[in-house]
Amino acid sequence: MSSISVSLRNYNEFVSENPIPDFILKGLPRRGLGMLIAPPDSGKSNLCLAMAYEVSTGINVVGVTPPEQPPSRVLYWPVEDGIHQAFERIQAHLRHLPEDTQQQIERNFSLYKSIGPILSASRNANQAEIIAARQSLDDLIEHAKEFDLLIIDTIREAIGTATEVEDDVRIKEALKELAQEANVAVLATHHPTKNVIRGLEGVSTASGSGLSCTIAYARCHFYLEAKSDKRTGEITHTLVQPKANFLATSHRVNQRLNWSNSGLLHSPNSNFIGQKTEHEYLEVDVDTSYENDLEESNTVPRVKPAAPRKQPKVIEATEDVLSIESRVLAEEERKKRSPISDELVEKFLKAKGKNSDRTS
């Protein structure tokens, strides 16, 4: 049937036959494509991990999942930084989490180890390169079928020799195939244009560098802003959502983010960072006992007072300090009628007069 008449009955029948896809992230449904755009060295990969923790545990970290979202499975492909760097960041985060949260992350969060690109250039690519890229895409589709969210960090590294402008349509089709065949939500990270990085343009749905067709196809955009205060040098991070076709504007993400001591971006009201491990509780106990010891010994640490500040030495100008040369110079200034030195000359002459009276 090529058309359907509009009625509540037909709508109910259609929905029963074609269920509305569940949303893995705010504005990003299963089988959909989303983009996470962020300047270089702004914390993009750490934000990817924060999103993965939130999806895999159901605990608010950066506020990107729908309300009361149950834990879902995440596959993260750190194609830019590699597995070793990703594990370095993750182990630093896990050490600050309780055991049950660590176990939940272990069950639902995995890293994809392949380094083979999923696409090749449309020009000058040999047959072996084309076949290898096709095999890499098929392998990724098979692995992603076991997950709810796939994060590709970054799309530029994942496409191999393909270019963002000339191969833009082919990149879009590859990501579309990946999302639909694996039945997974795909979030690909990318860098913004140079004008956006330099602050010459504001954040918009066209902030990505190249990939105009791919970015236009994506129904959900996240953007990580990193602004530096010129006066204090402090850098503030804000996660915004310039595009979310399935969300009302008032429901889009607009969240200030902070850095934790373990190097994780999180929202100020996150209850993920507020969890404490047994080790952290022990540290608090040690500090408390130290304070108790101070109270029992009745010892109050005192700060040594600073040495009194020396006052600058003041030299009084009297007739005794006037030399013969000074008196001669004073008379010469008087003859020149210099308005600048009149007051000083008067003092000199008075002093001279007193000396003359003494000698006479």
Mean pLDDT of the chain: 80
Write out the chain's pLDDT in tens, 360 residues: 578 899 998 888 888 888 777 899 999 999 999 999 998 888 999 999 999 999 999 999 999 999 889 999 999 999 999 999 999 999 999 998 999 999 999 999 999 998 899 999 988 888 999 999 999 999 999 999 999 999 999 999 999 999 999 999 999 999 999 999 999 999 999 988 676 666 656 655 556 567 889 999 999 999 998 887 778 878 889 999 999 988 888 899 999 999 988 889 999 988 787 555 443 333 323 233 333 443 444 443 444 444 444 444 444 444 454 556 656 665 665 665 555 456 665 666 676 665 555 554
**Residue 206, amino acid:** A
Place of tokens 């834990």: 71
Question: What three-state secondary structure class fits 86?
Answer: helix
pLDDT tens for 114-142 read 889 999 998 888 899 999 999 999 999 99
Residues ≥6 apart with Cβ < 8 Å to 74:
52, 55, 56, 108, 109, 110, 147, 148, 149, 150, 151
Domain locations along the chain: 23-278, 322-359
Paired with 268 in beta bridges are none
Burial 8-41 (b: 16+ CB within 10 A, else e): eeeeeeeeeeeeeeebbbbbbbbbbbbbbbbbee
CA atoms of 329 and 324, how far apart (whole Å): 9
Q: For 32-81, how does the pLDDT look when each residue is reduced to its tens digit (9 = 90+)?
A: 999 999 988 889 999 999 999 999 999 999 999 998 899 999 999 999 99
The CATH number, out of the four listed (3.40.50.2300, 3.40.50.1820, 3.40.630.30, 3.40.50.300), of the domain defined by the range 23-278: 3.40.50.300
Write the single-letter amino acid at 324: I
DSSP secondary structure letter of residue 51: H
* 255 beta partners: 239
Q: Cα-flanking dihedrals φ and ψ of residue 149, to 5°?
A: -135, 130
- Lookup result for tokens 């983009």: 35
CB 241 within 8 A of CB 34: no
Q: Give every CB contact of residue 274 below 8 A, 6+ residues apart in sequence.
A: none
Q: Six-digit token pair at 342?
A: 């009149």
Report DSSP letters for 220-260, one per residue.
EEEEEEEEE-TTT--EEEEEEEEEETTS-GGGS-EEEEEE-
Say how many C-beta atoms besides its own lie within 10 A of residue 347's C-beta. 15
Element (H, E) at 350: helix 342-359
CA pair distance 273, 266, nearest whole angstrom: 8
- Residue closest to 330 by CA, chosen among 339, 316, 341, 318: 341
Nearest C-alpha neighbor of 54 from the set 42, 39, 66: 66
**DSSP characters over 3-65:** -----HHHHHHHHHHSPPPPEEETTEETT-EEEEE--TTSSHHHHHHHHHHHHHH---SSS-S
